[in-house]
Amino acid sequence: MTDILVSEVGPRDGLQSIERVMPLEAKKRWIAAEAAAGVKEIEVGSFVPPKLLPQMADTAELVAFAKGIEGLTVVTLVPNAKGAQLAADAGVHGMSIPFSMSETHSIKNVRKDHLAMLEEIRAAADIAREHGIHFAVGLSTAFGCTMEGAVSEDQVVRLAEKAAEAGALEFSLSDTTGYADPAQVRRLVKKVRGAVGDMLTTLHLHNTRGLGLANVVAGLEEGITTFDASLGGLGGCPFAPGASGNLVTEDLVLMLNSMGLRTGIDLEKLLKVRTIIEEALPGEPLYGFTPDAGPMLDYNQRTAA
């Protein structure tokens, strides 16, 4: 029986993608309710300048709150070494830095080319090591870029190797723009694993073109054991207006549990968490089939003990 980690990224990736700011108390209720449903890891925010992303201004407060929840791994995204220091000061359990495989996207997103980002990764890794914090690198736009189109798989492999040399302890492959297909997922996982081994553990997938869960299955077949998702698919996709964005946590958990994989997440409790978002952000588009259709009649017979 395989254990699969579902990492909830909605409080960061979801909320930073929408204009409205969710009240701090609602964020706390969301995080606490997901943890109570059995979610073991939550990305609670991002240490970026509040002027740029006011949605993330309360990240340090959320870290302090979430660290009080027994058994929950509290992680944040950091864009650079300065953010890494803020995360370390807040006492996060883990931090992740995005490293865009498309240099055009990297320059537009964080104003740094690949060489400059590798230096930021090295500096952030040093900070994390000094504070005993797990440090991961997200290989963003690994499957394609809305500015460059196709991204060379050999380039992804080369940059992953460079990031490992700079101090990364773990990697995720991120389908930032929703370009991935199952064959590409299998191929790229194999290639990156060939370079960095089991340091590649995670897929961060979007459902922009309806291929999210198919790509999860492809990842499972290649031995991936961690998947990022956002409750209600919150956040949409800024590169495809009107399309769903992040992989929907509810649909992912239904599928994994139904397949007999062990997530430790109670789907019935998880489905109730959606109400917190609906009340705090009325009218915000939420996605997912499971909240409407509910689980299958034989769902409990399918799930792992």
pLDDT of 4 reads 98
The dihedral sign for the CA sequence 113, 204, 42, 24: positive
Cα dist from 273 to 36, 53, 178, 232, 278, whole Å: 10, 24, 25, 10, 9
Q: Per-residue pLDDT tens, the chain, 305 aa: give them.
A: 689 999 999 999 999 989 899 999 999 999 999 999 999 999 999 999 999 999 999 999 999 999 999 999 999 999 999 999 999 999 999 999 999 999 989 898 888 999 999 999 999 999 999 999 999 999 999 999 988 899 999 999 999 999 999 999 999 999 998 999 999 999 999 999 999 999 999 999 999 999 999 999 999 999 999 999 999 999 866 655 666 789 999 999 999 999 999 999 999 999 999 999 999 999 999 999 999 999 999 999 999 65
The position carrying tokens 């490293």 is 99
CA–CA gap between residue 46 and residue 217 (Å, rounded): 29
> Does residue 237 carry a catalytic annotation?
yes
Q: Where are the beta strands (DSSP E) in the chain?
A: 5-8, 41-46, 73-77, 94-100, 134-140, 170-174, 200-204, 226-229
39, 237, 267, 273: the catalytic one is: 237
pLDDT of 305 reads 54
CA–CA gap between residue 78 and residue 202 (Å, rounded): 17
CA–CA gap between residue 5 and residue 93 (Å, rounded): 16
pLDDT of 245 reads 87
Instruction: Say what the pTM is.
Output: 0.96
CA–CA gap between residue 215 and residue 172 (Å, rounded): 14
Q: Helix, strand, or coil here: 299?
A: helix
Q: Helix, strand, or coil here: 75?
A: strand
pLDDT of 281 reads 96
CATH numbers and ranges of domains, the chain: 5-302 (3.20.20.70)
